[in-house]
Amino acid sequence: MSAPATTMMERKAGRQSIRFLAPAAIVGQMAIGGRVEREGPLGDRFDTIIPESYYGEASWEKAETKILKEALTHAIGRAGLQEADIDLCFSSDLLNQCTASSFAARSCDIPHFGLCAACASFSAGLLMAGMALDAGFARRSVVGVSSHHDSAERQYRFPTELGIQRPPTAQWTVTGAAACVLAGSTQIAGAGALPKVTCGTVGRVIDMGIKDPYDMGSAMAPAAIDTLLSHFEELGKKPEDYDWILTGDLGRVGREIVAEQLARRGLDLGERYSDCGVLIYDPARQDVHAGGSGLACGATVFCGHVLKAFQAGHVRRVLFAGTGALHSPTTYKQRESIPAVCHAVSIEAV
């Protein structure tokens, strides 16, 4: 008799990738969007739509904090759990000092780790939660992120009220928040059908010299290419092993670069590849230029669209590769280029 496969496998696979030996399962999720998101092709996949951008608060920043807190609370509730059942919370957002994340966490009685990888923070959180749960440092964990079009626009670019014209490569920051609850393998009975975090690839920070904050797709694409190449090579996987391969928020410009450059390197992702920033809006009807961006872009598509596709049995294996641009208005004004990172996480219900 040979030993069980798990004892033969190592958790570390190559330079960047990891395998989970006791994969955590996703047992609850929540996706909240705004008006523009409701009008997009995935409008009906959101669990809640906020009626207007202030959401009853005195500022967009406070509104963002409120929807992130609601996403965390409802994801926990929909998993049939309470805050006291959750051992670790991982969260992030786009505001300076990630204040939506910290301010949402101050009303949660949950041990908290704040992450800072811009729009790659959600997949970073899934990987970290997966590690903590696999090894038994926690039994259940929640991962939540947010972004808000108006708070991001005025922080990163111009006061929203100015109505500055945007170039075609610009992307539209998604207003929303999403969270999902993960449970360790010992906490779930009959988890066969549940989507599980099975493996992943931790990104390196890549900077190819792009300086235009209105072209984040081009700035982030090289990080996605680097992480995806490592993922398939180190874990011995092929694109056909996934039903869907989704990058987080490259938009149309970045998506094209990734598809073309990977094909040149012999990795043809084909029709199974898309980008959450491409999926979330309809460019024929919506004035969103190159597509969606922001932490809520990838995270709401993941929690609203991808996890519902798992539940409906439409997909069984999805690679989610969150992408983040790691600049700030200060670095831009100091003539720096835009570094980026991409963390990929494999979700499988098998």
Binding site for its own copies (CB under 8 A): 10-12, 15-16, 18, 58-59, 61-62, 87-88, 92, 95-99, 101-103, 105-106, 108-118, 121, 124, 128, 131-132, 134-139, 155, 202-207, 326-331, 334, 336, 339, 341
C-beta closer to its own copies: residue 14 or 270: 14
Q: The tokens 């994801």 sit on which residue?
A: 75
Q: How far is the CB of 42 from its own copies (least distance, A)?
A: 27
Contact 174, 37 (CB under 8 A): yes
Buried b (16+ CB within 10 A) or exposed e, 162-181: eeeebeebbbbbbbbbbbbb
Q: Which token pair is 294? A: 């922001």
Q: How far is the CB of 312 from its own copies (least distance, A)?
A: 32
Contact 196, 349 (CB under 8 A): yes
C-beta closer to its own copies: residue 71 or 138: 138
Q: What torsion do the CA atoms of 19, 28, 110, 347 make, to the nearest 10 degrees?
A: 10
Q: How far is the CB of 240 from its own copies (least distance, A)?
A: 26
C-beta closer to its own copies: residue 3 or 58: 58
Contact 197, 347 (CB under 8 A): yes
Give the single-character DSSP code of 273: E
C-beta closer to its own copies: residue 255 or 327: 327
C-beta closer to its own copies: residue 152 or 288: 152
C-beta closer to its own copies: residue 59 or 158: 59
C-beta closer to its own copies: residue 238 or 333: 333
User: Which residues, at least 6 apart from 97, have a Cβ–Cβ distance to it below 8 Å?
Assistant: none
Contact 258, 250 (CB under 8 A): yes
Closest CA to 322 of 254, 243, 238, 240: 254
Calpha distance 98→131 (Å, rounded)? 23
Closest CA to 149 of 166, 123, 171: 171
Q: How far is the CB of 130 from its own copies (least distance, A)?
A: 9
Q: How far is the CB of 128 from its own copies (least distance, A)?
A: 7
C-beta closer to its own copies: residue 12 or 314: 12
C-beta closer to its own copies: residue 100 or 194: 100
Q: How far is the CB of 146 from its own copies (least distance, A)?
A: 13
User: Which amino acid belongs to residue 275?
Assistant: D
Q: How far is the CB of 325 from its own copies (least distance, A)?
A: 9
Calpha distance 256→55 (Å, rounded)? 35
> SS3 for 345?
strand
Q: How far is the CB of 15 from its own copies (least distance, A)?
A: 7
Closest CA to 280 of 170, 154, 175: 175
Q: How far is the CB of 34 from its own copies (least distance, A)?
A: 20
Contact 289, 170 (CB under 8 A): yes
Contact 32, 67 (CB under 8 A): yes
